[in-house]
Homo-oligomer: A and B are copies of this chain.
Amino acid sequence: MSKNKINVAIVGATGVVGQEMAKILEERNFPVNSLKLLASKSSAGKKATFKNEELTIEELTANSFDNVDIALFSAGASVSSEYGPIAANKGVIVIDNSSAFRMDNNVPLVVPEVNPDLIHRAIKTGKGCIIANPNCSTIQLVVVLKPILENYGIKRVVISTYQAVSGAGKEGLDELQTQTQKTIDKEAITPKKFTHQIAFNCIPHCDTFLENDYTKEEMKLVNESRKILNFPELKITATAIRVPVFNSHSESVNIETEKAINISELKNILQNFEGLQVQDDPKSNIYPMAIHTANKDDVYVGRIRRDESIKNGINLWIVADNLRKGAALNAVQIAELSIK
């Protein structure tokens, strides 16, 4: 793309990720010529502000993509499945935050710090295309796995997640807020968005269950990591847990490497990797935490220590803002690279 100013559309503009996308386009001074905010019919006519300008939310239709250069989709898999190809066929670069195309062999699944080269391979024809944005919990994981894979090789990864309610959108945020107040007021709770009470509880259930008794969220961590790292044989297993945190996912990760790791060398490697910040001074109570990571762009890693239960093993703790790096920011970073 050679234009200086880009016509951008956001599909799902009223959702928490859609709103974050607009905010980040503005913050990072993305060269927006025009911004089209698209949503379902029920949201059409609502107003939103972008760069001090009032914009009107429009209903998403097959005609929404005329004159659009880049469309950022975050309205769920069924909307992406229907409208993603329509937009791409009209020459639009579709950057899709849903799960619809992530495992499609013809669609690159991109984290800019890990596999940015796939972006230009996808758009070099000058035609439209679809680029998939990975799942939130996967993005923050692979940003850490990539430099470890490059420097030490990876034999196996065991992950347990601590996932914020914002990963379930505005309804998730509202549910934690409402249930917390009701618990304090000693009122009865009726779960709506989550299967059980999330306030003051941990629910071992993110997204739906599959035939193998893993959740979709757990298998996204497995399958998307393999695809992004271009390592289909990666041995990796995951347990995904919803916790009563508003925003930012945390992950406890155990990694067995091929080569021996020197911990201080590893910390340097991680600190020097783009998009990563090492926060690791336990004696001063410094380690990554959800409350400090919200609204930050980087992925934070700490509690880095040798796992003595295996020859070459480490444990570490990864935290990132799941709405930003885990979704909206990663999509905007892909958009930035796509116009370079």
Contact = CB atoms under 8 A, between A and B. Distances in A.
A250 interface: yes
15 contacts: A202-B289, A204-B250, A204-B288, A204-B302, A213-B282, A215-B282, A237-B254, A237-B308, A239-B252, A239-B315, A239-B317, A241-B250, A241-B252, A243-B244, A244-B244
A244 B215 CA distance: 23
Bin chain A's interface residue count: 35 or more
Contact of A239 (B195, B203, B241, B303): B303
Interface in A269-309: 282-283, 285, 287-291, 302-309
A313 interface: yes
A28 interface: no
A317 B206 CA distance: 14
Given A239-B303, A303-B213, A200 B290 contact: yes
A214 interface: yes
A158 interface: yes
Given A235-B309, A243-B244, 19 more contacts: A160-B239, A162-B162, A180-B184, A184-B184, A195-B285, A196-B285, A200-B244, A200-B290, A201-B291, A202-B290, A204-B250, A204-B288, A204-B302, A204-B303, A212-B306, A213-B303, A241-B252, A244-B245, A252-B252
B287 A162 contact: no
Contacts of A205: 282, 285, 287
A203 B287 CA distance: 8
A160 B309 CA distance: 14
A266 to B, nearest CB: 13
Contacts of A86: none
A302 B288 CA distance: 29
A243 B285 contact: no
A160 B162 CA distance: 10
Contacts of A302: 204
A305 B209 CA distance: 12
Contacts of A303: 204, 213, 239
Contacts of A176: 200
Contacts of A282: 205, 209, 213, 215
A245 B303 CA distance: 22
A236 interface: yes
A193 interface: no
Interface string A246-259: 10001010100000
A196 B286 CA distance: 10
A197 interface: yes
Contacts of A317: 204, 239, 241
Interface string A210-241: 00111100000000000000000001110101
A340 to B, nearest CB: 37
A209 B215 CA distance: 34
A181 interface: yes
A310 interface: yes
Contact of A202 (B158, B181, B243, B283): B243
Contacts of A157: 309
Given A158-B309, A196-B289, A213-B305, A202 B245 contact: yes
